[in-house]
Amino acid sequence: MTTSSPKYLQEDNLSEECKKLLSILPKDKGWVGSYIYNYQGFWTPPRFLQGVIAFQQQFQAEDSDIILVTTPKSGTTWLKSLLFALINRVKHPIFEPNHPLLVNNPHVLVPFLEHDLYIDGRVHDFSTFTSPKLLATHVPFASLPKSVQDSKTKLVYLCRNPRDTFISMWHFTNNLLLHHNDTNSIEEKFDLFCEGVSLYGPFWNHVLDYWKKSIEMPTKILFLMYEEIKKKPKVQLKRLAKFLECPISTEEENCGVVDEILKMCSFKNLRNLEVNTNGRFSTGEAYNLFFRKGEIGDWKNYFTTNMSDKLNHTIEEKFQGSGLKFSYV
């Protein structure tokens, strides 16, 4: 990795075991760092790969755990905030003036396993976590630790239409590169995305695997889509609460709890909070990179007809017969 790589992808702390593995894994051009590697069928940069392996080797799931799984750039930050507000609504009433979501970025309250808790050779101790633990990952189903797959741990899955996902990923990685006087061409990254070479991609494998598993195991995996939450937020929030066995009572609804959670976690509210406007991760990336437009259909401002045709073709081919349909508007 070049010295100009964004800090959060630097490889200074890679173990010998990880370096050895990297030397034999298939690689392709990275979106941010020099290379992205194919491990167990999905693509990830070296620093995250080490985190994934530690997560796989060390994490022991408990039945009460709740893990948010997302395809990158599908609205992870938003769902982290919704989950936190929902699960903690007794401990932290949503009307509380010092609610944790008002002073913390959602990624701090619901940490990533491979990007945060197990990053850079950290051995994580969960003794300080209260139950249920709220955690997050981008790892595909087949690569989750056995204890996550086999326990009663609940998985909340979120995806988003591939066009907006791609545009969001392209902007995000470009913003990271901006500070290093570099940029990604949309054409080049689009071709990589269509070939399946994107963070935790191929996109369609990630989505389809969780989609199928959610049908097989409806009490273990809840499959959500960004566009559905945008269009019917109350319905989807109540669906989420029911799945997590903390349904919203009529009394709560009458008191405005649902409306207040949605308001607190809205793009406008979160983006304008001081913590998210000026705060940063310890590696230096600004929290505001996670709040760009927050809309359905921004792809229309970037896609050519050729791009739409190409992605349509791939998506139709991959999702044919699955029963899964994306919404683009």
For residue 75, give the nearest of 211, 219, 270 by alpha carbon. 270
Give least dist CB 24 to ligand PAP, A: 28
Residue nearer to ligand PAP on the CB measure, 146 or 236: 236
Give least dist CB 164 to ligand PAP, A: 6
Q: DSSP alpha helices (H): ranges in 25-125? A: 46-58, 76-87, 100-103, 106-109
Give least dist CB 182 to ligand PAP, A: 19
Q: Which residues pair with 137 in a beta bridge?
A: 69
> What mask of x and - would describe binding to ligand PAP in positions 167 to 196, judged by CB under 6 A?
-x--x-------------------------
With CB under 6 A as the contact rule, the residue among 92, 212, 238, 293 that binds ligand PAP is: 293
Give least dist CB 213 to ligand PAP, A: 20
Residue nearer to ligand PAP on the CB measure, 125 or 199: 199
Give least dist CB 259 to ligand PAP, A: 15
With CB under 6 A as the contact rule, the residue among 239, 292, 310, 318 that binds ligand PAP is: 292
The conformational region for residue 75 under phi > 0 = left, psi -120 to 50 = alpha, else beta, is: left
Q: What are phi and psi of 262, to 5 degrees?
A: -65, -35
Q: Which amino acid, 120?
A: D
Tell whether residue 164 is a contact of ligand PAP (CB under 6 A): yes
Query: What would the two tokens of residue 53 be?
Result: 């392996």
With CB under 6 A as the contact rule, the residue among 18, 294, 307, 314 that binds ligand PAP is: 294
> What mask of x and - would describe binding to ligand PAP in positions 232 to 271, judged by CB under 6 A?
---------------------------------xxx--x-
Tell whether residue 288 is a contact of ligand PAP (CB under 6 A): no
Tell whether residue 6 is a contact of ligand PAP (CB under 6 A): no
Q: DSSP alpha helices (H): ranges in 105-256? A: 106-109, 146-150, 162-178, 186-194, 203-216, 226-231, 233-243, 250-254
For residue 17, give the nearest of 121, 133, 98, 139 by alpha carbon. 121
Does residue 115 carry a catalytic annotation?
Answer: no
Give least dist CB 66 to ligand PAP, A: 17
With CB under 6 A as the contact rule, the residue among 34, 298, 308, 310 that binds ligand PAP is: 298
Tell whether residue 147 is a contact of ligand PAP (CB under 6 A): no
With CB under 6 A as the contact rule, the residue among 78, 210, 243, 287 that binds ligand PAP is: 78
Stretch in the footprint of ligand PAP (CB under 6 A) among 34-42, 205-213, 286-294, 313-321: 286-294
Give least dist CB 140 to ligand PAP, A: 14
Distances (CA, A) of 276 to 251, 283, 291: 32, 15, 8
3-class SS at 154? strand
DSSP-assigned letter for residue 129 = P
For residue 138, give the nearest of 153, 116, 163, 164 by alpha carbon. 116
Matching residue, tokens 């989807």: 236
Contacts of residue 198, defined as CB under 8 A and 6 or more positions apart, other chains included, come to 31, 43, 72, 166, 169, 192
Question: Which of the residues 115, 138, 171, 206 is marked catalytic?
Answer: 138
Tell whether residue 70 is a contact of ligand PAP (CB under 6 A): yes
Q: What are phi and psi of 52, to 5 degrees?
A: -65, -45
Tell whether residue 119 is a contact of ligand PAP (CB under 6 A): no
- Radius of gyration, alpha carbons of the chain: 19
Tell whether residue 77 is a contact of ligand PAP (CB under 6 A): yes
| Sites of contact with ligand PAP (CB under 6 A) | 70, 72-78, 164, 168, 171, 265-267, 270, 290-294, 298
Annotated catalytic residues are 138
